[in-house]
Homo-oligomer: A and B are copies of this chain.
Amino acid sequence: MASISHLKRKAYALRKLSVMATSEAGSGHPTSCLSAADIVAALFFYAMKFDPADPTNPSNDRFILSKGHAAPVLYAAWKELGALSEHELMQLRKFDSPLEGHPVPRFVYNEAATGSLGCGLSVGLGMALSSRLKNIPFYTYVLLGDSEMTEGSVWEAIELAPYYKATNLIAIVDMNRLGQTTETIDDHDPEKHAKRWQGFGWRTICIDGHNMQEIVNALDQAREPQEKPVVIIARTFKGYGLEGIEDAEGYHGRAVPKEQLSDVLKKLEERFKEDAVEEEVIPLVTYIPVPRPKIDFKQPLCPYTQQTKLATRKAFGESMALYGEPLKNLISLDAEVKNSTFAQTFESRFPERFIQCFIAEQNMIGMAIGLETRGFVPVCSTFASFISRAHDQIRMAAINRTPLRIAGSHAGVSIGQDGPSQMGLEDIAMMRALPKSIVLYPSDAVSTYHLLYRALQYQDGISYLRLTRADTEGIYGPDTEFTVGGLHVLKQSNDDKVCIITAGITLHEALKAHKELEKQGIAVSVVDLYSIKPLDKERLILEAKKTGKVITVEDHYLEGGLGEAVCYALRNEAITLEVLAVNKVSRSGTPEELIAYHGIDSKALSKKVLELVD
């Protein structure tokens, strides 16, 4: 067991290295590192059971630095573990270094990208739950700052952890009193802050976060068998150890100027005389991360036919249940709308792989990131409109390179009477604007079945499946092929005057328009652009050129939607393009009234076609 003096020496090393690295970088948050240095030293060199040489070992304890701006103290810990040389550490924040300003997966020892505050506890909770689900006992430690405790997302995780008795989740609050510009909302009183956690059913331990013995004792206590998750609230001082800076306002995110560094380090050494002893570090063998395994499972036979009339949200739930059999790591997360998204169909089949997250979308996405890291294939589902609630967490998932699957039901004005608050009308824009994301929009049961399969296989980023409330007619036969980046031409003739490009619910309007126009002797082609991102640019151009006139139609706001995506793809072609999309605040009404009101129904399409052929 590590001695207290050893831990204090490590804490000193972390302090010194954090100050040096940020000074060398000319930016960063050394004072936020210094308040946490004792805690991080105790975690990495005492409490956590893990093999630093084998970060993927499933039995390792896990560590999430929720206060991501303290990244240098995390890097310093790995330097002291032998994963980095001092030279490498001094490359902090440089373009070629994986040691970014806030931790990202390019630093292969890091467990989750952080830097948007208030996200870490959710990720940790996901990891903690994975331990029970996989029956691999380990602890997940999450280090939070006191400033980020005002983020509601933190309280979402705090609310859910006791419900699931996540006793292997250990939260630690680095209560250093000072935020970026002012004192935190909490004074500097761990006991007062503890009452909040207690109200949610947590066990709390309040300590002096700079007393190594107290930290060690608290960590021991935290691991005692218990019924409740536990939080250690550590009273600390920002910039602890730096003369004139410790506990002073105005030093957030300020590196020590290089010309003052040697003086500052000298004073630091004087302050921690006994601890300022360098200990030998044995370098680790360079760790080469293993890429995510391919998700390869045999697709069961498609249960739907062209005759199946079913809402895509229902087909989603049923397909989830079917894929749950061959894909043993598939797990479903619901934000208390499982009878709307039909996640309940999966739940009834695999209750042990269903997590009720209640109405807390941010925590749902955060937990999914944690579960994915520990080997699950999580699918988060809720109303498309409410996915906007977790936009920041989804953005962070993209930065974390997490292949997150998200299904948004009740997309568009076509949901009808419930009104605009329940209508997802910005989800395509939101999900397209993520690096490496894919956006898939099925129109019937068969396409839902196959596109969900593609989303499950997609490991390079976030996949989004857009779902419709109403039952829709079958369009495709069961064996139709659907690919990421594909499209289908559903109607086509030699006489086509206009090409209609659409997907999802409005595909049915396009087919209706096709029929209406046919009666009037006007032929149009109809393209199902079910893969909105990526899209098949070459094929789109080919189809568009056949008529030279294109109309897109979608149940989504114009900006960032299918129409603009097509417009971008066709930008350098001599093609007339009209975009029908939602352009104003919607309201309650029947689906038919609303798609007419917004000019995205078959009549509006037919009218636009007639204008173009005129």
Contact = CB atoms under 8 A, between A and B. Distances in A.
A564 interface: yes
A223 interface: no
A491 to B, nearest CB: 23
Contacts of A564: 560, 564-565, 567-568
A552 to B, nearest CB: 10
A160 B184 CA distance: 11
A417 B27 contact: yes
Using C-beta atoms within 8 Å of the partner chain, give the interface range for chain A.
35 or more
A344 interface: yes
A541 interface: no
Contacts of A114: 421
Interface string A551-568: 000000111110111011
* Copies of this chain, count: 2
B185 A358 contact: yes
A133 interface: no
A181 B419 contact: no
Nearest to A418: B101
A176 B486 CA distance: 47
Contacts of A196: 196, 199-200
Interface in A353-372: 356, 358-360, 362-363
B571 A100 contact: no
Given A155-B155, A199-B200, 16 more contacts: A94-B589, A95-B589, A97-B588, A113-B421, A148-B359, A150-B159, A150-B160, A150-B359, A152-B154, A388-B392, A399-B585, A429-B560, A432-B560, A564-B564, A568-B579, A572-B577
14 contacts: A27-B418, A94-B589, A100-B587, A102-B422, A118-B152, A150-B358, A151-B359, A152-B152, A180-B339, A182-B336, A399-B420, A426-B430, A429-B560, A564-B568
Interface of A: 25-28, 68, 93-95, 97, 99-102, 104, 106, 113-118, 147-156, 159-160, 163, 179-182, 184-185, 195-200, 336-340, 344, 356, 358-360, 362-363, 385-386, 388-389, 391-392, 395-396, 398-399, 401, 417-422, 425-426, 429-430, 432-436, 533, 557-561, 563-565, 567-568, 570-572, 574, 576-577, 579, 583-585, 587-590, 593-594, 597
